Amino acid sequence: MKFTIVKMKIKTTRTSLLTVVLAGLTLGSNAQEVPTILSGATIHTGTGEVIQNGTLVMNHGKIMSIGEEPVNFIKNAKVIDVTGKHIYPGVFALNNIMGLNEIDAVRATRDFNEVGDFNPNVRSLIAYNTDSKILPTAFFNGILFTQPVPQGGSISGSSSLVYTKAWNWEDAAIAEDEGVHLNYPDFRPNHKPEEQERLNKELEAIRKFFEDAKQYNQQSNPSPVNLRLKAMKKVLEGKANLYIHTNKAKAMLHAIAFFKTNYPEVKIVLVDAEEAWQVADELAKQKIPVILGTIHRLPSYPANDVDQPFKTPAQLVRKGVLVAISQTGSWESRNVMFNAGTCAAYGLTKEEALQLITLNAAKITCTAEKLGSLEKGKEASLLVVDGDLLDMRSSKIQKIFKQGEEQQLSNEQEALYKKYKEKYGLE
């Protein structure tokens, strides 16, 4: 009898636990339950168009209509008056380590650097920690999509485009393994003989690795299996980007010449690219996109204009280069929209600056068919903002919709702010 009682208790406990889990899954679902209408706002579509007093309709996670005309009655629709507010597409944060790094001083929380020089098979996606304390602060600022990028070595690994808010990495994935990251050797002026020798060795190692990968992937059933070489297949076929990280203009030209000559199918994207403005004509001619690094910095050399980092995006855009911007690091990445705001003060219009962190980023990551702008049929992931999203003084996000479902705006930093505000009786 005693055994029977214990058995019944265990069964009851398991049943209760399952009920709690299922309830939690239901409450946390991103599935849009009813049509939602946002009316009266200024809509910044991300394509350059601005709609005054606009109306946007979302249903089943997608944008059903967008425009100035009033929407006819939709059965069971939830209508939200956002008059005086601004609606923007969700922001992209490219080229960062959010979700791969938590506390800089604690090695166990740093998961962005692998041992070895050539690691294209290392996937940042499966290391992406959706329970990171950093991600909610980025989401709170309007960053709905991020690109965690591995670092270190010659080939760091593969990146993916993911949601900043998700249950796990499988749920977060948008574009899996969309690119491999190559750290190209810098061509510095006046190389010493020993530095030139090191440079030649690094370039030869890269050349040999790509040639080995090409030969390996031309085989129908290679044996033994080499995961490093196999991971290059999508890049060599032009189905994934090759992100080339370098800052020097000479290195950019060398990389472009090398891959265009030997591997014309490879889709090159330059990353960081501090001196890209010096080779803007060549980038435009070769149709090579650029993801610029941190905008809020000093110029590369004392002889450069002090505002060169601020005006580089405009110089590239005016030449016809597809440009996105990033804010490297982890905590710093949540302010990428304010970097775009600086670009709007140095040669770009505000709508062009907005594209640096929305539509252009979607185009580079090959997700523009469903993300990056507010257009009929695209995913309804967007922001409702009181003020200018690109201006840190006035931007205040009121609502965030992910796949048409309104999200809760909270993070640990806000909770601490409210806690100590209450404790000390601050207004």
221 shares its domain with 330:
yes
Q: Which of 334, 353, 371 is the last residue of a domain?
A: 371
Check whether residue 82 and residue 164 sit in a common domain: no
Instruction: Say what the pLDDT of residue 22 is.
Output: 40
Q: What is the CATH number of the domain that holds 409?
A: 2.30.40.10
Question: Do both 173 and 71 map to the same domain?
Answer: no
pLDDT value at residue 24: 40
Q: For the chain, what is the mean pLDDT?
A: 89
* For residue 379, pLDDT beyond 50: yes
194 and 224 co-located in one domain? yes
Note the pTM of the prediction, 2 decimals. 0.88
pLDDT band for position 30 (50/70/90)? low
Q: Are residues 115 and 43 in the same domain?
A: no
In a shared domain, residues 80 and 96: no
Q: What is the DSSP string of 163-225?
A: ESS-SSHHHHEEEEEEEEEEEPPP--SS--HHHHHHHHHHHHHHHHHHHHHHHHHTSSS-SS-
Q: Which domain holds residue 19?
A: 1-25
Do the beta carbons of residue 360 and residue 346 sit within 8 Å?
Answer: no
Structure tokens of 83? 């008059």
Average pLDDT over residues 80-102: 95
Question: What does the pLDDT average to over 330-353?
Answer: 94
Q: Is the pLDDT of residue 10 over 90?
A: no
Work out how many domains the chain is built from and give that number: 3
Mean pLDDT of all residues in 223-232 = 95
Give me the helix-helix angle, 308-318 and 336-344, nearest 10°: 70
Q: Are residues 244 and 388 in the same domain?
A: no
Which of 355, 371, 387 finishes a domain? 371
Q: Minimum mean pLDDT among 5-14, 28-37, 61-70: which range?
A: 5-14
Residue 12 pLDDT exceeds 50: no
Q: Report the alpha-carbon distance of residue 69 to residue 421 in Å, rounded.
A: 44
Longest dimension (CA), the chain: 88
The one-letter amino acid code at 41 reads: A
| pLDDT at position 289 over 50 | yes
Contact between residue 74 and residue 56 where contact means Cβ atoms under 8 Å apart? no
Same-domain check for residues 256 and 363? yes
- Tokens at 359, concatenated: 């539509």
Least confident of 1-5, 36-40, 308-312: 1-5
Residues 338, 354: Cα–Cα separation, whole Å: 10
Extract the runs of DSSP E, i.e. beta strands, from 360-420: 382-386, 396-402, 405-406
